[in-house]
Amino acid sequence: MAYTAASAVRSSDHINTITNLSSGLMRPLYTSCSEHQHAQHANRESRLLCLNESPRMPSPSPPASPTRRAVGESPFLRLPTEIRLQIYSLLVLPRSANDLLPSFEKVHSSTQDYYDYDKKQHGTERSMIANLVHPTLLIRTIDPDRYRKRYPELRPEPARSKYSVRCDRFRSACRRTTYHCINNPRIEDQLAILGVNRQTHAEAAEVLYGSYTFDFDTHVEAIIPFLSDLTPFARSCIKSIRFVKRALAYEKEFDRCEWSSALRYLTSSSSNIGLRRLQLGVVAGRPGEQGWDSIATYSATDFRLLGQLEKMEWMQHLLEIQGLQQLDVSAVVEHCPPGSNSMAMAEYIRFSASVEGGFREYLTEQLVAA
């Protein structure tokens, strides 16, 4: 596993208290308006990719007494916990890099994400290869045109939460859609382990949700619907997330709304999410051939002041994240006009040149536990 399992998992669910029984770069594709249309029904069947197609088990019961355990316990549950966790890992984690290759379906109703769909590592000609040490699931918003073909009015509505996105070239029209995973791991046949009993469900689910990084890229509008469709226990097992901040120079009001809503959900105690690793990408503008060569950069001290300025409030939402053990900050570089065009563009270029320097240092000081 990528992270050490906690000895207990807290749940904000007012009905059940869940006890853990185990060992204790890219152009924006979509943006949605502020009114997410994801239903909040407590008894609705949840879906994670196709992982939650398996039967959903109730909250684990307290450990059995020694007398009951001796009479009817499964031989599998008598194995040492470390052995059981290794078995779960073989079942729910990918065995080869090919098991996590994206499908790369093209979309047509908005600007496509060239990083995903060209199958290249950003800024290189090398093919993108899955990382088996930190396996990643790529969660993306479905093209609204494809969504309507997949779920026409005559067919049942998908169980996943639905929300509206800005989907035309000028980002002016809203359409309803949902999320999906573009690189489903080939583990569907092994997920029956989640339905054996309460204890195996709790232990296997912790390995499943705690070992993957859930990558939303610039699709921050999918964060709340995706996570809210999980059970409180599943959310508590998630330890690693990646998302990308859209380019500040071209940000709209609904972009700021999506960002603040997603970060508030991630940091709310009621969401019961305890992140240990955050991969943050920031779309950075680099002009011309000389790029940032002659650009004065901001230091970590400068960012303490910049965070108080208008339109930089998005930094304050990041500072609400607590308990991180690892923070990766990277610049997602795109071409932009020269700074001589306007003062706003000059400031954006200076900020962009500082993403992997002063900005990374500032966030690391604030967010990573000493």
Instruction: With respect to residue 235, please indicate whether it lies within any of the assigned structural domains.
Output: yes
Q: Note the helical H segments in 38-174.
A: 66-72, 81-92, 114-117, 144-150
The pLDDT of residue 180 is 87
Angstrom distance (rounded) from CA 20 to CA 10: 9
Instruction: With respect to residue 129, please indicate whether it lies within any of the assigned structural domains.
Output: yes
The answer to whether 187 and 69 are in contact (CB under 8 A) is no
Instruction: With respect to residue 246, please indicate whether it lies within any of the assigned structural domains.
Output: yes
Instruction: With respect to residue 31, please indicate whether it lies within any of the assigned structural domains.
Output: no
Instruction: With respect to residue 96, please indicate whether it lies within any of the assigned structural domains.
Output: yes
The pLDDT of residue 57 is 46
Instruction: With respect to residue 184, please indicate whether it lies within any of the assigned structural domains.
Output: yes
Low-confidence ranges of the chain (pLDDT < 70): 1-72, 104-129, 154-155, 168-171
The pLDDT of residue 15 is 38
The answer to whether 270 and 236 are in contact (CB under 8 A) is no
Instruction: With respect to residue 241, please indicate whether it lies within any of the assigned structural domains.
Output: yes
Angstrom distance (rounded) from CA 197 to CA 56: 10
Domain around 188 = 51-275
214: which residues sit within 8 A by CB, 6+ positions away?
Answer: 136, 137, 139, 226, 238, 240, 241, 242
Count of structural domains within the chain: 1
Residues 76-85: contacts with CB within 8 Å, 24+ apart?
Answer: 76/200, 77/199, 77/200, 81/22, 81/23, 81/203, 82/23, 84/22, 84/200, 84/203, 85/1, 85/5, 85/22, 85/23, 85/203, 85/207
Prediction pTM value: 0.77
The pLDDT of residue 171 is 67
φ, ψ of residue 153 to 5 degrees: the values are -60, -25
The pLDDT of residue 116 is 52
Instruction: With respect to residue 353, please indicate whether it lies within any of the assigned structural domains.
Output: no
